[in-house]
Amino acid sequence: MSDLSEDDAAEAFEAARDERMPMLLLDRVVRRYRQGADALEVLSGASMALHAGEVVALVAPSGTGKSTLLHVAGLLERPDGGEVYLDGEPTSSLSDDARTALRRNEVGFVYQFHHLLPEFSALENVALPQLIRGLPAPQARERASELLSYLGLGHRLSHRPAELSGGEQQRVAIARAVANAPRLLFADEPTGNLDPVTSAHVFNTLTRLARASGLAAVVATHNLDLAGTLDRRITLRDGQIVDL
């Protein structure tokens, strides 16, 4: 007979269930856009699960819906069908304010272009999201400094974007994306504008940071060599997510 009481067994079951629960779950997601009188369906019942600490490469040709998938999964767009679950909770029926709060606190984005604010230093660019969230300025600057130092930019804290190389700018953008300690990270061709050597460095930096912090991440890329270094690869075919 087991030594566990009923209460202990229930707690163990709940802990195991929570451990298996995906950080992100797309359940038969549909997304379509109007083109005049017609509707273009980009996602047609797309489903996937993404767990904490898992870094997945999204590899697909241009025009197949990679950005749409990232926007829907990252709560920038609402699905027309199906559901997006964040840590087990449905999100499609949330108010705009609630979705904005989730994006601000739980989701980070990195794009092909860094979109840094040119008038601010690297440290200030990374501190700003934390200040918007309400963190006191000294703590925001301290965390920004720690993140940038971790990414090899401790000697560039006071430099503005124009004084940084392309790879350095992207590393600042990565630090900014994780400044508020999100649980999900979406990167849309984050190395698309960089040379191969710099691309590999930025890509490795991003994935190392994601794994070290337990982030669940999806990285869209055309680079099959870089994609092969991640936990798994997925693609889009006829509006559905398929493992490669």
Q: H/E/C letters for each residue in 118-179?
A: CCCCHHHHHHHHHHHHCCCHHHHHHHHHHHHHHCCCHHHCCCCHHHCCHHHHHHHHHHHHCC
Phi, psi values for residue 114, rounded to 5°: -70, -30
Neighbours of 138 (CB within 10 A): 9
Amino acid at 161: P
Alpha carbon distance 21, 37 (integer Å):
40
Task: Tell me the CA end-to-end span of the chain in Å, nearest whole number.
Answer: 45
191-214: pLDDT as tens digits: 777 778 877 877 787 788 878 888
pLDDT at 13: 41
- The maximal CA–CA distance of the chain, rounded, in angstroms, is 69
How many CB atoms are closer than 10 A to CB 11? 12
Buried b (16+ CB within 10 A) or exposed e, 139-162: ebbebbbebbebbebeebbebbbe
Report pTM. 0.81
Instruction: Give CA separation, 152 vs 28, 119, 169, 187, 230, in Å.
Output: 40, 22, 12, 20, 21
Determine the pLDDT at residue 5: 52
pLDDT for residue 105: 86
Place of tokens 């990232």: 70
**Helix 122-133 vs helix 137-150: crossing angle, to nearest 10:** 130
What is the mean pLDDT of each successive set of 10 residues along the chain, which is 244 residues long?
Answer: 50 50 93 83 93 90 88 93 93 92 89 88 94 91 92 92 91 90 88 77 79 87 85 92 91
The tokens 């990679």 sit on which residue? 66
